[in-house]
Structure 1
Amino acid sequence: MTAGSGDGFRAVYGAAPDGVWAAPGRVNLIGEHTDYNDGFVMPLALPHTCRVSAARRDDGVLRLHSADAAGGVTELRVDDLTPLGVVGDRGGWAAYPAGVVWALRAAGHRVGGADLHVESSVPTGAGLSSSAALEVATAFAFSDLYGLGLPAPRLAQLCRRAENDFVGVPCGVMDQMASACCTAGHALHLDTRDLTRRQVPLDLSVGGLRLLVVDTGVKHALGDGAYAERRAGCEAGAAALGVRALRDVPYGRLGAALERISDPWLRPLVRHVVTENQRVQQAVRLLDVGETAAIGPVLTAGHASLRDDFAVSCPELDLVVEASGAAGALGARMTGGGFGGSAVVLARAAAAESVGKAVNDAFAVAGYRAPRVFEAVPSAGAGRVTTA
């Protein structure tokens, strides 16, 4: 991560911050919509970060400013923060750091006010966890400002609570864990039930490979009901099968499980989650033996499942997968919650440029806005980057 200078903070508040903290966005290599089903995921952190410059206040006032949002400084009192209460424009960016402060206090941590200035290079609405990066950077800042000494996984859990209970988005814990706990050069194999995790080496250069992110530019809002509807469907499917979560349905008994579900809406949701967990485990096994190129078909199969069973893709994401495959990519899939956002594409390094061009050309022919294509480099998780 690049150390922030705190200049933006000084321009807004007229003084130096106590420090600058940064947390990355993430791209999920495989394991989509499994985290809120107690399943397996494998994200990696991006070099794109959200940077929070902060200074402690002892008067209970929380002041929030973003370099990327209009509206100036939002001023709140920490004692007045309540779940789903009004924080400026409901659902606006300020709800995320405010929610983190609320979650810390609700968990019994004695934190008060602060001045925060936010700058981010994580694309918003692109399925790359810009909100989780903001939450995690804020949590790390408050942990240091108030001497809490909380470990990264605990901070990630509190950030998830902030997004679930304060902002009102029923996400799983993957995004926050990835932003807080990833390490450079690795993907994070995470069991979202007990939060056990392992850093899986992902050195793409050794195999002459590149992982591309294609931001379609199609914006999504996970709080609009579609995400919550699918989560509720997964919970209903688990209840119908008499299991705690869909993670508990064995892959080898999937056929029998599906026969027990009469609701045609629930059946494909269950099939996706069970097969996606299997794909995560398959990808881990391949990476462990150095067969990185072989995960390409696993990615593509995951996209087909998200498109056909979970129904969270869109024409632009489907076109990325189709066009990149036709141009010689090893595999591709949408990443993130869906309904827009980004896709990941695994390609040989020698073919990466032509694959990116093929995707751009396909978008032009279809009349879509040109996508943004960049390389995903497995990067480090959150931390303090400077003291001033």
Structure 2
Amino acid sequence: MTATDTRPVDAARALFADRFGAAPAGTWSAPGRVNLIGEHTDYNDGFVLPFAIQHRTHVALAPRNDGRVRVASTFDDGVVEVGLAELGALFPARRDEIPEWARYPLGVAWALLESAGTDPHTPTGVDLAFASDVPVGAGLSSSAAIEGATAVALAEIWGIDLDRVALAKVGRRAENEAVGAPTGIMDQMASLLGRADAAIFLDCRSLEAQVVDLGLAGAGLELVVIDTGVKHSHATGGYGERRAACERGAAALGVPALRDVAPRDLPRLAELVDDVTLRRVRHVVTENQRVLDTVRTLRDHGPTAIGDLLVASHASMRDDFEISVPELDTAVDAALSAGAVGARMTGGGFGGAAIALVAREKVQEVTDAATAAFDAAGFAAPTIFTVTPSAGAARD
């Protein structure tokens, strides 16, 4: 869902009027996110350091009195309609009957009602229309933005009093069970808890979140996103295989999750599993440590000192977890060659975007270098833009 000529909040309102023939009662929005560091650690009960970005998904909403929910999106020309009381039969067993884009908001409605213990016959029905400027498939969590916007909107309309962590759990359940993507909770937490000029240091086991000041502006730094244009999907491809490898590694060591594995345990694991499983586990274990090191470095020395940790993270994802692609490696290499402080791929992998931490005066140089490197490699031109750490989900 993109809105290029119109603000996405205006596009959501216009879409609502077009599809439903009336004005919405209000609009709500939630941001995408960039993960500064900590990839594939979240579903292993580990640590992550994401931040919300200025790109947001907006939902226009109005209540109905017939217990039905209709969803529309700039993604699709149609309207998907179901009864609230039917959601429990649809998810997860019959989710394939619903178009994938519609499973996100409908899944949130289902998970929210279940989480709150609300009889699905009780709440008023709703019409929902979505528009967004969060790039889709770029690793910036357009899915969590949809979930976060839907969750805060429906919770308000239905009078469901759940805190932001509980709403993040609702979003994760929707993505896991209604959509069928085996993701962790990092994206939803970032989208719901985001703060301006800060990252969220999240313990994915306890769900304890701490705000960590980034201080990018004061250091004269920008975060540049290099969107390769290579699309990925968490519900397909290698994401599930990577998660299964992590579970095998934890089981071999007799621990609940890879959070409980230290680097010193890796030699013992090498005697118990195949080389591929070992490398998958090694990425997660070392990435957890890099997140902790990044938080400490930010607090002690500021953002100019974290470059080597970003570079090491990318190498681990490229070599041990094997989720990079040639376009991502090209983006990272080009940014570093043009003087970036650090760079890495971000998101689930198999496509999407790289991020580069760049001195403000070198942003154009990095942009030109990445563009030239893609052209020389015969790749389609990347989309390059800066992102700003921003606030989380809210009513517009």
Q: Does the TM-score normalized on the shorter chain lie above 0.5?
A: yes
The alpha carbon displacement at 1:203 in A equals 2.0
Distance 2:50 2:99 in 1: 25
2:9 aligned counterpart, secondary structure: coil
2:213 aligned with 1:201: yes
Which runs of 5 or more structure 1 residues have no equivalent in the other structure?
Answer: none
2:101 aligned with 1:93: yes
Of residues 70, 85, 90, the one that matches 2:76 is 70
1:49 aligned counterpart, secondary structure: strand
Distance 2:250 2:153 in 1: 38
Amino acid at match of 1:133: A
Distance 2:323 2:270 in 1: 24
Query: Any runs of at least 4 consecutive aligned residues in structure 1 with deviations exceeding 6 A, and if so which?
Result: none
Q: Pick closer, same or farther for the CA change 1:86–1:259 going to 2, 3 Å.
A: closer
Pairwise mapping of residues 95-244 of structure 1 onto structure 2 (< 5 A)?
A: 95-107=103-115, 108-110=117-119, 111-244=123-256
Q: Pick closer, same or farther for the CA change 1:200–1:272 going to 2, 3 Å.
A: same
The alpha carbon displacement at 1:122 in A equals 0.4
The alpha carbon displacement at 1:106 in A equals 2.3
Pairwise mapping of residues 275-354 of structure 1 onto structure 2 (< 5 A)?
A: 275-354=286-365
1:93 aligned counterpart, secondary structure: helix
Which runs of 5 or more structure 2 residues have no equivalent in the other structure?
Answer: 1-6
Distance 2:82 2:95 in 1: 8
Of residues 359, 362, 371, the one that matches 2:382 is 371
Residue in 2 that maps onto 1:4:
9
Q: Pick closer, same or farther for the CA change 1:328–1:347 going to 2, 3 Å.
A: same
Q: Pick closer, same or farther for the CA change 1:85–1:241 going to 2, 3 Å.
A: closer
Considering only aligned residues, what root-mean-square deviation do their CA atoms show, in Å?
Answer: 1.6
Of residues 46, 50, 75, the one that matches 2:57 is 50
Distance 1:254 1:291 in 2: 31
The alpha carbon displacement at 1:87 in A equals 5.9
CA contact (8 A) 1:241 1:260 kept: no
Residue in 2 that maps onto 1:26:
33
The alpha carbon displacement at 1:104 in A equals 1.5
The alpha carbon displacement at 1:293 in A equals 1.0
Stretch deviating more after TM superposition (2-11 or 208-217): 2-11
Amino acid at match of 1:215: D
> TM-score, with normalisation over the residues of structure 1?
0.95
Distance 2:80 2:95 in 1: 8
Deviations along 1:296-344, one digit per CA (max 9) or x if unpaired, are 1100100000010001000000001111111111111010000000011
Q: Pick closer, same or farther for the CA change 1:87–1:164 going to 2, 3 Å.
A: closer
Stretch deviating more after TM superposition (29-38 or 284-293): 284-293
CA contact (8 A) 1:186 1:200 kept: yes
2:250 aligned counterpart, secondary structure: helix
| Residue-pair matches, total | 382
The alpha carbon displacement at 1:45 in A equals 0.6
Residue in 1 that maps onto 2:3:
none
The alpha carbon displacement at 1:47 in A equals 0.3
Q: Pick closer, same or farther for the CA change 1:89–1:336 going to 2, 3 Å.
A: farther
Amino acid at match of 1:131: S
2:276 aligned with 1:265: yes
2:45 aligned with 1:38: yes
> TM-score, with normalisation over the residues of structure 2?
0.93
Distance 1:9 1:259 in 2: 56
Distance 2:313 2:229 in 1: 21
The alpha carbon displacement at 1:258 in A equals 3.3
Amino acid at match of 1:380: A
CA contact (8 A) 2:100 2:179 kept: no
Distance 1:225 1:3 in 2: 30
Distance 1:299 1:200 in 2: 17
Distance 1:85 1:98 in 2: 14
Deviations along 1:156-182, one digit per CA (max 9) or x if unpaired, are 101100111111111000001110111
CA contact (8 A) 1:317 1:334 kept: yes
State the identity %: 51
The alpha carbon displacement at 1:85 in A equals 5.0
CA contact (8 A) 2:192 2:393 kept: yes
Stretch deviating more after TM superposition (88-97 or 222-231): 88-97
The alpha carbon displacement at 1:285 in A equals 0.5
